[in-house]
Amino acid sequence: MSKKAVIIGAGALALGFLGERLALDYEITFADKNIKTPFLKELQNQQQYILNICHLDGIESVSIQGRFNVFNLDQEKEKNDFYKVITEADLIFTTVGNQNLPIVISQIAPILNEQMRGNCILLCENGRNLAQIYQKFFKASKVVDTVMSRMCRFTTQEESGYGYKPLWKNLPDRLVVEAYDYLPLNVAACSSEQFSPVFTLIEPDIFSTWEDIKFFAHNGTHAFIAYHAFLDGIKYFSDVDHKLKEKAEKMLFNEIIPALHRAHPDFPLRDLKDYGENLLERIYNPFFHDSIDRGIRGILEKLKPSERLVNGLRFIHHQGIKPVHFASAILAGYKIISKLELLPETIKDFLINHCGIIEEELIQLIMGNPEI
């Protein structure tokens, strides 16, 4: 009998990473809302879709084929049928974003708690220790953190000439992803028989390092470059100039990576540096053609206390490293917010009230930052 996986949320990450990785080994059920109706119907009919994998030297269009089921959770009958499906799933993934995650958890927890069988729920949202936050809502089911490091996005209308192929011939939407396959899980939190070889089960300390690498190095660097590039009038990551690239390198190699190594001394420093070099290549990849507008999306959310930048600022500072370059991203973020008129506060009020930064040393480091 084949294993069954449920993916709640049928967006870029669900189709671009999880669907592609799991299709060979699992029967996959995708669930979303009315807004994704065309996707869901086409996926059910076609049982395949086209993915554009962006390598550093070109684009590879591949057909992802599998056993796909779909549910529209805005339709009452489909929602009730879906609740039956999740009780039988070997793996349940959430790819709905941090803002929507509490709602999803509140909907599925009562259903799963009615049975004695324990499901495995994998949270694919960005964050640290999310499983610890949401485990309390479940009785027998196990909630597990993941590290989702492949960048995935839908293209814009302006990118029609870049050689990307549509998901299906009769729908214009194109999904592009980077060529990054690593999918680690904490072996201490997982029952190995539930997981196909597509996952890499690693020791808790190593998994903890990868969580921090993703949140601070990957997410933090992506935001850092995007915020500075937006203020410089740059439209795409692949167009970032030499000056900003130097800033990003100093921030990554002088602050984030040393802080990661101090926090996780058993993880080889050379491996962290190699990751950093590869990360910058991935972010600037012209074939992925990532936009700065995507990089600043949800900027207010990304500047909250538990998010990548404020959390990262404290993480670096806690390791005894002065986060001068990293702090400039928060100042850049405030300038963008002011420019877009999203929040009419003085910078100090913003840092205290929105970012939750009350340490005077960190406030002054941001407000008087020489890097912006």
pLDDT in tens, 56-79: 999 999 999 999 999 999 999 999
Task: Judge whether residue 192 has pLDDT over 80.
Answer: no
> What is the rounded average pLDDT of the residues 250-255?
98
Q: Which amino acid is residue 76, in one-letter code? A: E
Rounded Cα–Cα distance for residues 256 and 315 (Å): 9
* Beta-carbon contacts of residue 48 (< 8 Å; ≥ 6 apart): 63, 64, 65, 66
The tally of CA atoms less than 13 A away on the side-chain side of residue 156 is 9
Q: How many CB atoms lie within 10 A of CB 293?
A: 12
Percent of the chain with pLDDT over 70: 99
Rounded Cα–Cα distance for residues 177 and 16 (Å): 6
- Domains of the chain, CATH where assigned: 3-201 (3.40.50.720), 207-367 (1.10.1040.10)
For residue 50 the two structure tokens come to 């086209």
Confidence of residue 271 (pLDDT cuts 50, 70, 90): very high
pLDDT in tens, 134-165: 999 999 999 999 999 999 999 988 887 789 99
Residue with tokens 């591949």: 62
- Strand order of the β-sheet with 3-8 is 67-72, 26-32, 3-8, 91-94, 120-123, 142-145
Rounded Cα–Cα distance for residues 98 and 360 (Å): 29
Helix (H, G, I), strand (E, B) or coil at 103: helix
* Beta-carbon contacts of residue 349 (< 8 Å; ≥ 6 apart): none
Q: Which amino acid is residue 123, in one-letter code? A: L
Whole-model pTM: value is 0.95
